[in-house]
Amino acid sequence: MTRTPVEGDLRVRQLRAQQMLRGELAGRDLDEFVEERLLFTKLETAQNWARKNAIFPLGFGLACCAIEMITVIGSPRNDLARFGAEAIRFTPRQADLLILSGRVSIKMAPIIRRLYDQMLEPKWVIAMGACASSAGMFANYAVVQGADKFMPVDVYVPGCPPRPEALIYGIMKLQDKIMGNPDMGWRERYQAYGTEEREAEPPRHEGGLEVPRRG
Q: What secondary structure does DSSP assign to 125-189, as a single string? A: EEEEHHHHHH-TT--STTB-S-GGGTS--SEEE-SSSPPHHHHHHHHHHHHHHHHT--TTSHHHH
Pick the closer one to other proteins by CB: 22 or 77. Answer: 77
Q: Is residue 163 near other proteins by the rule CB under 8 A? A: yes
Pick the closer one to other proteins by CB: 13 or 61. Answer: 61
For residues 29 and 13, give the distance between their C-alpha atoms in angstroms, rounded to a whole number: 12
CB 179 within 8 A of CB 1: yes
Report the amino acid identity of residue 77. R
Q: Is residue 118 near other proteins by the rule CB under 8 A? A: yes
Q: Which value, in Å, is the radius of gyration of the alpha carbons in the chain?
A: 21
Pick the closer one to other proteins by CB: 19 or 71. Answer: 71
Counting every residue written for the chain, the total comes to: 215
Residues 39-98 that bind other proteins (CB under 8 A): 43, 47, 59-64, 66-68, 70-71, 74-77, 90-93
Pick the closer one to other proteins by CB: 70 or 172. Answer: 70
Q: Which residues bind to other proteins, rule: CB under 8 A?
A: 43, 47, 59-64, 66-68, 70-71, 74-77, 90-93, 102-103, 105-108, 111-112, 114-115, 117-118, 120-122, 131, 135, 137-143, 145, 160-161, 163, 197, 211, 215
